[in-house]
Amino acid sequence: MKGQLDQLVGAVRLHERAKHMQLLPVGLEPLLRQARRESESFAIEKGIEIRMVPSRSLVTSDAFLLGAILRNLISNAIKYTRPGGRILVGCRHLGTSIRIDVIDTGIGMTNDQMSRIFEAFTRLDSTETDGLGIGLFIVRRTTAILGHRIDVSSAPSRGTCFSVLAEKA
């Protein structure tokens, strides 16, 4: 129950912050390091390795909101990855954009599941994870507010890749 309440409080904070967002050049390295640091104990508890590919990339974004997106994606990757699995976070330059990838070796999803994951209160497997099912809904809304894009690719039993595309600064 506490986790669900924390999720609601976090959603309200993000909504409030979005009203006052500032699109500025944001360095990805500090955001990625902070997201990893905040998720590391959860990953260690589950026996999951998180690897980050260093990046000096700058994007035009709001650091607080983009950081929240990355923390949510990494947290989800941990939730849906079995013990002994791995998560890789890295960036790629694509023309005028930077693609930030969060890739896991988790349980993966079918095409039908992928078509529903960004809906509010949708949880694909309620037996193994805690939460309200609003995290990815908030991620999609926040990326849209920032003018970014989110994509997902997945294969059942093989893993998932969430990609955030943001303009280079």
In angstroms, rounded to a whole number, what is the distance separating the alpha carbons of residues 26 and 60? Answer: 6
Percent residues over pLDDT 90 in the chain = 73
Q: Is the pLDDT of residue 1 over 90?
A: no
CATH number for the region 2-167 comes to 3.30.565.10
- For 166, the token pair is 């943001």
pTM of the model: 0.88
- Using DSSP, state whether 139 is helix, strand or coil: helix
Q: Does residue 150 or residue 10 have the better pLDDT?
A: 150
pLDDT tens readout for residues 3-57: 554 554 455 566 666 677 899 999 999 999 999 999 999 999 999 999 999 999 9
Query: Are the CB atoms for 116 and 133 separated by under 8 Å?
Result: no
In degrees and rounded to multiples of 5, residue 145 shows phi and psi of -60, -40
Q: Is the pLDDT of residue 78 over 60?
A: yes
